[in-house]
Amino acid sequence: MDHFELNNGVLHAENVPLPLIAAEVGTPVYVYSRATLTRHARVFRDALGVLRNAKIAFAVKSNPNLSVLKVLAAEGYGADVVSGGEMERALAAGMAPDGIVFSGVGKTAAEMRRGIEAGIGQFNLESEEEGLELAEIAASMGKVASAALRVNPDVDAGTHGKISTGKAENKFGVPFDRAAAIYARLAGTPGLNMRGLTLHIGSQLSKLEPLEAAFTKVGGLMEEIRAAGYTVTHMDLGGGIGVPYKTGEVFPQPEEYAAMVARVTGNWGVTLMFEPGRVITGNTGVLVTEVIRVKDGASNPWVVVDAAMNDLARPALYDAWHDFVAVEPKGETFTANIVGPICESSDTFAMARTIDKVERGDLAVFRTAGAYGATMANTYNSRPLVPEVMVDGDNWAVVADRIDPATILAAERVPEWLA
Ligand SMILES: *Cc1c(COP(=O)(O)O)cnc(C)c1O
């Protein structure tokens, strides 16, 4: 459920008509609904209420906008960060350092040092080598870093290959059969407080079974580690729950997910940690775009919009689907290809899709663009960096400026020897 609905024939974000935002900010522009964000955050948190001891660290990479993080901080969310930049954002949003988990497959020494300094709650270690380096840095600072070991459970998440992370051939975590030995080695290293295991098998998962299989497998590993005399107090189950991008698709509900987790982990006796991203932010945003023109095509007309793969990369990266609807639908449809202006054939949002009839100057939106949308934007083809707006009831504000090509050009230097 979201708060992007037609009101008197015009698509609104909560109480604000999208044409108003488009007129004042220009297009393309991401528009987030605060009510939708809060609702999703609460539904997920309340669903996990059936678990005795659950902590949620929002996966910042899905939507790192500072205002989005502020809303989630106010809902009691911590953060799962994968870079020093994301850590600084989470801290800037007022998230408690203790509630921040530092994931990521290539943490640098500088990032680890800064994380220890800031007092972040847990480092999710991707390898023995990383654990030993973290231990050394912590010890040299006279500190002890809390950490969990990321295990690669070798389970097929059944999602797109580029967002699958839990198969043996993926770069993430340590091999399942070596994990107990690595845990033992790290647990005995000064500077480290090894407190648990973590896993994350992929994103946009449409079924609970792969998650259940992975949790069960890692639960067995936890028992093995305990039997060897080591302590496990925290188990971080990652994120990955998918959301429907096409009208009519059915995905696991947070209550079903929580019931499955309760069934599998009932006797673990640990603090459970979760790292949801997309399921919290996916539906909270749309990308508003204007039709530049409709161009005749060999089989279908080309709807050329002013948003492109640099603003919303998912279709180009993952062949992803985003529903495309007119802001002021005329009640007619046609079959068309939707493309952006970038000089590359991958700049295609949809082929031969039946959509609202649109023409030059019409506004439309790509739905479910709140996760992995603006955060992946870039300036390819020397296009501006897309701005972001948040709506709250009747209120709205620009929460990230459009950064125009002139600003980017101004950061470039021509060396004297070229001048
Ligand atoms: C990307 C990521 C997540 C969030 O994934 P979603 O599919 O958005 O829920 C959680 N944990 C880690 C380690 C990640 O890399």
CA distance 317 to 29: 20
Q: Whose CA is nearest to atom 8 of ligand 1?
A: 277
Residue with tokens 């399921």: 279
Of 72, 83, 200, best ligand 1 pocket probe by most atoms within 8 Å of the beta carbon: 200
Does the domain made of 4-32+282-410 have the CATH classification 2.40.37.10? yes
* Whether residue 157 has pLDDT greater than 90: no
What distance in angstroms lies between residue 68's CA and the mean position of ligand 1's atoms? Answer: 16
Residue 317 in tokens? 């990266």
Query: What's the mean pLDDT in 370-393?
Result: 98
Per-residue pLDDT at 159: 86
**C-alpha distances in angstroms, 243 versus 166, 201, 257, 350?**
19, 16, 13, 19
Q: What is the pLDDT of residues 300-336, one digit of tens each?
A: 999 999 999 999 999 999 999 999 999 999 999 999 9
Q: Using 50, 70 and 90 to split pLDDT, how confident is the model at 164?
A: confident
**352 alpha-carbon distance from chain centroid:** 29
Q: What is the pLDDT of residues 173-206, one digit of tens each?
A: 999 999 999 999 999 999 999 999 999 999 999 9
DSSP assignment string, 125-143: E-SHHHHHHHHHHHHHTT-
Say what the pTM is: 0.97
54 is catalytic: no
Contacts of the segment 265-268: beta carbons below 8 A, 24+ positions apart: 265/51, 265/215, 265/219, 265/235, 268/219, 268/222, 268/235
Query: What's the mean pLDDT in 283-287?
Result: 98
Per-residue pLDDT at 153: 94
Q: State the Cα angle at 77 between 387 and 212, rounded to 5°.
A: 105
* From 1, 250, 298, 343, active-site residue: 343
DSSP 386: P
Per-residue pLDDT at 247: 87
Q: Which amino acid is at 226?
A: R
Of 63, 72, 80, 102, best ligand 1 pocket probe by most atoms within 8 Å of the beta carbon: 80
What distance in angstroms lies between residue 170's CA and the mean position of ligand 1's atoms? Answer: 14
| Bridge partners of residue 335, in order along the sequence | 354
Domains of the chain by residue range:
4-32+282-410, 34-281
Q: Which fold has domain 34-281?
A: TIM Barrel (3.20.20)
Residue 295 in tokens? 């161009």
Classify residue 280 as exposed, middle or buried by CB count within 10 Å of its CB (0-12, 13-18, 19+). buried
Per-residue pLDDT at 169: 87
Query: What's the mean pLDDT in 274-283?
Result: 98
Q: What is the pLDDT of residues 37-57, one digit of tens each?
A: 999 999 999 999 989 889 999
C-beta neighbour count of 343 within 10 angstroms: 9
Q: What is the pLDDT of residues 210-230, one digit of tens each?
A: 999 999 999 999 999 999 999
**406 alpha-carbon distance from chain centroid:** 29
CA distance 251 to 145: 37
Per-residue pLDDT at 162: 87
- In ligand 1, the atom with minimum distance to the C-alpha of 242 is 7
What distance in angstroms lies between residue 336's CA and the mean position of ligand 1's atoms? Answer: 34
